[in-house]
Amino acid sequence: MTRETVLSNARIVLEDRILDGTLVLRDGLVADISEGPSAAGEDMEGDYLLPGLVELHTDHLEAHYSPRPGVRWEKTAAIQSHDAQVVTSGITTVFDCLRMGSDGESGFEKGEMRAMADAIAGAQNEDRLRAEHLIHLRCEVSTDNVLDHYEEFEDDPLVRLVSLMDHAPGQRQFQTLDQYILYHKKKRGLTDEEFDAFCKRQQDLSARYAKPHRDAIAASCAARGISIASHDDATLDHVEEAIGYGIRLAEFPTSIAAAKASHGAGMSVLMGAPNVVRGRSHSGNIAARDLAGLGVLDVLSSDYVPFSLMHAPFILADEGMDLPKAIAMVSTTPARTVGLDDRGAIAKGLRADIVRVRRPSGVPVVRSVWRQGRRVA
């Protein structure tokens, strides 16, 4: 039986313009886009219709699974809670970040993330989830056990993105110790001696493992056709290394030079939407709005606040960016960067992932969400 939905009197955000008109969804796809209102269908009251947002990097599931140090929540309940917040933020495709590699003092034990991935797959198979969930493996290459964790995912079809990270002191995000002290010494309550020993251990692990682990994981991803992301690139050498690995996504570059070089090399430069909303990075790195002004910002990620992915594009538009271009940073470009060519824009034949948004001023309001033509919020 044909399933059809008509959405009339809407401001439809297309890739190149905003059309006042009517959108027809049929059998899960966009069937027609026309100018002007329709006598049939649901009146959108002049609200925006946006493509469903595509989230490539969110740690938000982790916060539901481990809401306090040492606490582990029931996995399916954590996933459903995460999914509810994601979809009501307008996100219809979400890459859930699962952490690979543990230094014994942080992270998760071997098998925990594998069990979480199985729970995600199970929840989707049981039609518990409203967004589509895929997996992004965050690989801490300086840990001695990252390959053990990664190997548990070698045959998982939900894995569509892998990032290569090294958070050791002196590397990338932590080239200076100011933020590292805040993250580790103060947070953990370490003495000077304990902090010095911790830093030396992390540096030794990075020197021993980072390069061979990057090589092994990148080779595996290339063989499986999985998109690879760099993380916290700071220097031109980091960018050259990323080019050599065939990386398509540059996550959170920490210098303008690295961002410009990554963008110039054809990589999509990703920054945090919370960075846009707050006007600065929480870790003291470059401001995403500065990269937008330079024309080298391609993708936004909600990172740790799901609704920021809806809020940030409107802020950029308020500051002079064309709204369709800003919306592309959270829909079209992330989808295409990871090879999801069936979604990410409102166009005939693409998936009917649609978000109704009202924005009289300030913070936008998500009023309805459709995924593949099915209303899910």
The tens digit of pLDDT for each residue in 278-307 reads 987 765 578 999 999 999 999 999 999 999
Considering the segment(s) 53-342 as one domain, its CATH architecture is Alpha-Beta Barrel (3.20)
d(Cα 33, Cα 346) in Å, to the nearest integer? 9
Banded pLDDT at 192 (limits 50, 70, 90): confident
The arithmetic mean of pLDDT across residues 224-236, rounded, is 94
Q: CB-side exposure of 109: number of CA atoms within 13 Å?
A: 4
Q: Report residue 116's pLDDT band, with 50, 70 and 90 as the boundaries.
A: very high
Q: What's the pLDDT score for residue 286?
A: 86
Strands laid side by side in the 159-165 sheet: 53-58, 91-100, 132-140, 159-165, 227-231, 249-251, 268-272, 299-301
pLDDT at 189: 63
- Max Cα-Cα span within the chain: 74
Q: What is the mean pLDDT of residues 85-114?
A: 89
Q: Per residue in 326-348, pLDDT tens?
A: 999 999 999 999 999 999 999 99
CATH for 1-51+344-377?
2.30.40.10
Q: For the chain, what percent of residues have pLDDT higher than 70? A: 92
State the amino acid at position 231 in one-letter form.
H
- pLDDT value at residue 202: 74
Listed residue (199, 193, 155, 210) closest to 176, CA to CA? 199
- Please report the pLDDT score of residue 181 as a whole number: 58
Please tell me what DSSP assigns to residue 248.
Answer: -
Query: Distance between CA 160 and CA 172 in Å, rounded?
Result: 24
Share the mean pLDDT of the chain.
92
Query: Which has the higher per-residue pLDDT, 203 or 276?
Result: 276
Q: What is the mean pLDDT of residues 41-53?
A: 97
For the residues 35-58, what does the mean pLDDT come to? 96
DSSP annotation string for 304-320: T-TTHHHHHHHHHHHTT
65 pLDDT more than 60: yes
Domains 1-51+344-377 and 53-342 share a fold: no
pLDDT tens by residue, 308-317: 999 999 999 9
- Provide the pLDDT for residue 171: 57
pLDDT on residue 38: 92
How do residues 118-176 score in pLDDT, each as one tens digit?
A: 999 999 999 999 999 999 999 999 999 999 999 999 999 999 999 999 866 655 555 55
Interatomic CA distance for residues 216 and 114, integer angstroms? 20
What is the predicted pLDDT for the residue at 178?
A: 58
Given this model, what pLDDT does residue 169 score?
Answer: 64
Asked if pLDDT for residue 204 goes beyond 90, the answer is no
The DSSP element (H or E) to which 4 belongs, if any, is: strand 4-13
Residue with the two structure tokens 């606040």: 305
pLDDT reading at 198 higher than 80:
no
The pLDDT value given to residue 69: 83
- CA distance linking residue 33 with residue 22, whole number of Å: 6
| Residue spans per domain, the chain | 1-51+344-377, 53-342
Has residue 185 got a pLDDT over 60? no
Give the confidence band of 1 by pLDDT, cuts at 50, 70, 90. confident
Least confident among 28-42, 172-186, 253-267, 339-353:
172-186
205: pLDDT strictly greater than 90: no
Please give the pLDDT value at position 180: 58
The two structure tokens encoding residue 187: 């947070």
**E strand or H helix at 20, and its extent?**
strand 18-26
